[in-house]
Structure 1
Amino acid sequence: MKYTLKQLQVFNAIASNESVSRAAEHLCMTQSAVSMSLAQLENLLDRPLFIRHGNRLTLSHWGRWLRPQARKLIQNAQQIDQGLKDQHLISGTLSLCASQTAAEHILPKLISNIDSDFPELRIELSIENSEEVIRGLLNHEFELGIIEGRNDDSRVMQEAIFDDHLVIFTNTHHPYAHSKVVNLAQLEQARWILREHGAGTRRIFESAVHGLIDHLDVWKEYESVPVIKELVKNGSYVGCLPLLDVKREVERCELVILNTPELDMHRSLSFVWLDDLGQNPLKDCVITEAKRLVRSIQKNRINHFSD
């Protein structure tokens, strides 16, 4: 091999920043050194890795193919480096991508606990829908993910950590808000605001209504959970989100959960990672701490209802 890990790091930094100058700043290198490293790598591989649009660089076909391979090599080298250095085992940076529900309700407390107990562990956090989490893992953009619902890709390992369920909800002025039971025919007549395609919440909802409701009047689709809740609060719409996402508004009597006994919408939040990732003490630490946090949350719920 004629190329070096440093050249691959430079390539990966440019791909992330789409700019030589921003990559140089990220790597604490001069701009000329970054440009020279990229030129050497492209010459060695005899392939153009980027398409240049003025000052902006986007990956070429060859660059898109190379990037996940380069990230995997960089991650493996980092693990070797951590194992050889005389340092605490739980130190370094872990890239984590999570769905919105986990990012809002699980990760703030989890990251706070890790900052307290493992101060040398840093988590780089991204927030995407479940489909994008899986895509990012497969492209080696992230080392660990959290998704809603099921994953069907055999290359991705999955471990459930938290059980929850979706609910159908509307505002207090909607005609359905005062119904003891809302049936399938009523749901078919409703105007819906739902999460976008690719979201774990959307997949679970569509699986639940499949074969039961022929046509849904989906008025709007949004990635943002707060936007969905605000629109349902102030319009004649019906929505579907995890209970965790609407619990506070229900307690404030701003939203009403509809009783829809014909729909089963239980789901889990799960950690996901590539099967070929190998040993990763940072990943194992995060999953262990998350399990501990979830047990604490569930215990508090039991104590709350028994009081």
Structure 2
Amino acid sequence: MKTKLLIFKTVANYLSFTKAAEQLFISQPAISKSVRNLEETYKTTFFIRKRNSIELTNEGKAFLIYTNKILEIYAEMENQFLHKNETYPDLIKFGVSTTLANYIMPKIISKFRVQYPKTKFEITARNSDDVEELILNQKLNFGIIEGKNTNRKLQFSKFMKDEIVLVTNAKNNTYKKGIITIETLQEVPFIMREMGSGTREIVFEHLDKYQVKRLNTVVTLNSTEAIKNYLLNSDNFAFISIHAISDDLMNNKLKIIDVKDLTIERWFYFVSRTGYQSNLMNYFENYTLNNHNF
């Protein structure tokens, strides 16, 4: 069952049977058969098959939540019983972009240190461009960053998918229907991340498809936390990672405003210098992949 769930999760993450097969080193027919068996077992349909793409059904999205929980339990069991005698160095150093540093990596590292309490971490948190520069200058050996994988001097592998959403103060009733157009998006007062931010770059990469070159930016800040605190005291808007606002949404402090026909998704990547090999990096990448709830 674990293998079938892992296959389903990989297909759901990539929304592609072909890419899932490449990632898992399994034939595409075997991937399709595994998903089909799951659908037959649970008497439902997880994916809508289109001509050149697939997408998750509502049942598929719900099943993915359960799949993530079950695979996380499998990972905990394996860490507890199969990997308990593995040893790691006294210190692990790497760089992460700020979104990951604030909202994702603390959970993973805290779980790691429960199992390996002798290992210490030295983490450099910067924007994505800065982390890349530190790796290229050999001040860091590897890192985890957001947004892009275009520098040929660096090698990238996918970590997890993220979505960037438009948010504002929960008390802001300017757009009561909770949806605006691309045209309206260009008029609202915006709080934007600094140049070099992976979030900023991916936002404008998507907006460029609609010939939107700039937004009505009224304040530029260099951290998501600063932007969130600003939004809590204003009726302005900002694009923020969904991972950064889960608590704010549940506590009714911030709310999401949909932008018609606009979806901004990105991947977080493991990154290192092209050709760089390290058992430590490989071990930590595998641990991170197996111990994060996507």
TM-score past 0.5 threshold: yes
Residues 1-307 of structure 1 aligned to structure 2 (within 5 Å): 90-212=88-210, 213-278=212-277, 280-294=278-292, 297-298=293-294
What is the Cα-based RMSD across aligned positions, in Å?
1.8
The one-letter amino acid paired with 1:276 is G
Q: Which runs of 5+ in 1 are unaligned?
A: 1-87, 299-307
1:162 Cα deviation after fit: 1.1
1:177 Cα deviation after fit: 4.2
The one-letter amino acid paired with 2:271 is V
1:233 Cα deviation after fit: 1.7
Aligned length: 208
1:120 Cα deviation after fit: 4.5
Q: Which has the higher helix share?
A: 1
Q: Which runs of 5+ in 2 are unaligned?
A: 1-85
- TM-score, normalised with respect to structure 2: 0.66
**Structure 2 CA distance for partners of 1:153 and 1:214, relative to 1, 3 Å:** closer
1:214 Cα deviation after fit: 4.8
Contact 1:176 1:182 in 2 (8 A): no
- Counterpart Cα distance in 1 of 2:240 and 2:183: 20
Contact 1:155 1:274 in 2 (8 A): yes
- TM-score, normalised with respect to structure 1: 0.64
Structure number with bigger Rg = 1
Alignment match, 1:4: none
1:285 Cα deviation after fit: 1.4
Higher mean alpha-carbon deviation, 239-248 vs 258-267, is at 258-267
The one-letter amino acid paired with 2:156 is Q
**Structure 2 CA distance for partners of 1:116 and 1:180, relative to 1, 3 Å:** closer
Q: What's the secondary structure of 1:207's corresponding residue?
A: helix
Q: What's the secondary structure of 2:245's corresponding residue?
A: helix
Contact 2:182 2:260 in 1 (8 A): no
Contact 1:90 1:281 in 2 (8 A): no
**Structure 2 CA distance for partners of 1:215 and 1:114, relative to 1, 3 Å:** closer
- Counterpart Cα distance in 2 of 1:146 and 1:121: 19
- Counterpart Cα distance in 2 of 1:157 and 1:215: 31
Contact 1:89 1:281 in 2 (8 A): no
1:172 Cα deviation after fit: 2.6
Contact 2:89 2:119 in 1 (8 A): yes
Percent identity between matched residues is 22
Contact 2:178 2:256 in 1 (8 A): no
1:92 Cα deviation after fit: 4.0
Contact 1:205 1:265 in 2 (8 A): yes
